[in-house]
Structure 1
Amino acid sequence: MDAVHLLATTLGLGFAAGLRLYSTVLGLGLAIRFGFLRLPETLHGLEVLAHPAVLIAAGVAFAAEFVGDKIPWVDSVWDSVHTIIRPIGAVVLAATAFADLDPVVRLVLVILCGGVALSSHATKAATRLAVNHSPEPFSNVALSLMGDAAAPFMVWLTTSHPMIALVLVLGFLVMFAWLARRIWRLLRGGFERLRRWSMA
């Protein structure tokens, strides 16, 4: 796998994990276990995702996230907790995937994967915070279903068409850089309101 494909895989997995960590792990694990995904030698470390214990843990967490993400404000509480968990999960995923690479290269890829995961998570969380102020529940559920579809689609795209995934993620990162100040301001205000609400 050349450097560009490694970068595409790193950014694609980071983006998917930032949206839905558990469905990313579960989807990869199931695809590997049932032979839908043949890993290149460079990524053979991901075979651990097909272990039954990993699949069960990811499946339970995925089910909890699937339900909670459909409930206004519960989704934002979940996102606030996962502001740490999703990027760290992406870092662990990248470290596992690239375990056999040169340590310097692996460290660079791990940092990139975690950074992209934080960016996609922040964008997703800020969008859901904004939508939660709407009195109707349908837009919240629609966005949640879009997220449910986007993560496995991104995993598939990353493993099947890495160059397309790379272009999409780079486009997202440009947009994120442009909107970063607004996203962080919205997140900070929303999480502060959640904190006051939980203490009331």
Structure 2
Amino acid sequence: MGAVEIIGLAASVSLLAGWRLYLCVFAVGLAMQTGWVELPHQLKALDVLANPWLIGIAGVGAVAEFFADKVMWVDSVWDTIHTAIRPIGGALLALAIVDPTDPAWQIAALLLGGGGALLTHGAKAGARAAVNVSPEPVSNVVVSTGEDILTGGLLFLALANPVAAVVIAVLIVCATVVTLVLLRRVLRRLVGRKARAASS
């Protein structure tokens, strides 16, 4: 696996951790435990994820997140609590993927992995808060289920094909930036409406 593929895989996993950290840790650990995913020697640091205790803890977290994310406003509270947890998890996952013998790569992975996870977490949390304004609860469940499927599918694709991981990372960053721009516009409109209502 070349440097570009390793960077793509580290970026994909850390970006996806901003959406579903526990699912990422659980899926990677379970795939390694069952031998479904054979990681190359550069990624042997991820062997710790195959620990049954860690898989169990991540599984409990994934189930809790699955249900918390389906309930209006509970999802926003969950996202608020995980504003620090997801970026740290994303940074540590990226750190485990890169070459442990090169401190420069390790620091870059730590910073970029944490930053990427924070970026996607921010877009997810903002989008979910906007969805919560909707009066009906169905949209919340649909969006959350879509995030579950998208995270699982992209994670599988990134692990199965390191070249695809590069494309996935680029697409996630683009989608996140678009989401943040749209959220900013929505927020400005809401603030403008409230200002006009207050002045009239």
Shorter-chain TM-score tier:
0.7 to 0.9
Q: Unpaired runs of 5+ in structure 1?
A: 188-200
Q: 2:99 touches 2:105 (CA, 8 Å); kept in 1?
A: no
Q: 1:17 touches 1:86 (CA, 8 Å); kept in 2?
A: yes
CA RMSD of aligned residues (A): 1.9
How high is the TM-score relative to the length of structure 2? 0.86
1:21-100 to 2 correspondences below 5 Å: 21-98=21-98, 100=100
1:179-194 to 2 correspondences below 5 Å: 180=180, 183=183
Q: Unpaired runs of 5+ in structure 2?
A: 188-200
* Cα-to-partner distance string for 1:94-152 (whole Å, 9 max, x where unaligned): 22333623011111122221111111111111111011011111110011111111222
Please report how far the alpha carbon of residue 59 of structure 1 lies from its aligned counterpart in structure 2 after TM superposition. 1.1
Equivalent position amino acid for 1:32 in 2: M
Number of positions where the alignment pairs a residue of Structure 1 with one of Structure 2: 187
Residue 13 of structure 1 corresponds to which residue in structure 2? 13
How high is the TM-score relative to the length of structure 1? 0.86
SS, match of residue 20 in structure 1: helix
Q: Percent identity?
A: 40
Q: Residues 179, 64 of structure 1: CA spacing in aligned structure 2 closer, same or farther, 3 A cutoff?
A: closer
Q: 1:16 touches 1:24 (CA, 8 Å); kept in 2?
A: yes
Residue 193 of structure 2 corresponds to which residue in structure 1? none
* Cα-to-partner distance string for 1:25-78 (whole Å, 9 max, x where unaligned): 000000000010000100001111111110111111111111111100000000
Q: 2:7 touches 2:98 (CA, 8 Å); kept in 1?
A: no
Q: Residues 112, 145 of structure 1: CA spacing in aligned structure 2 closer, same or farther, 3 A cutoff?
A: same
Could you tell me how far apart the structure 2 residues matched to 1:57 and 1:42 are?
A: 25
Q: Comparing 97-106 with 15-24, which one deviates more in the overlay?
A: 97-106
Q: Residues 20, 12 of structure 1: CA spacing in aligned structure 2 closer, same or farther, 3 A cutoff?
A: same
Q: 1:16 touches 1:150 (CA, 8 Å); kept in 2?
A: no
Could you tell me how far apart the structure 2 residues matched to 1:70 and 1:43 are?
A: 34
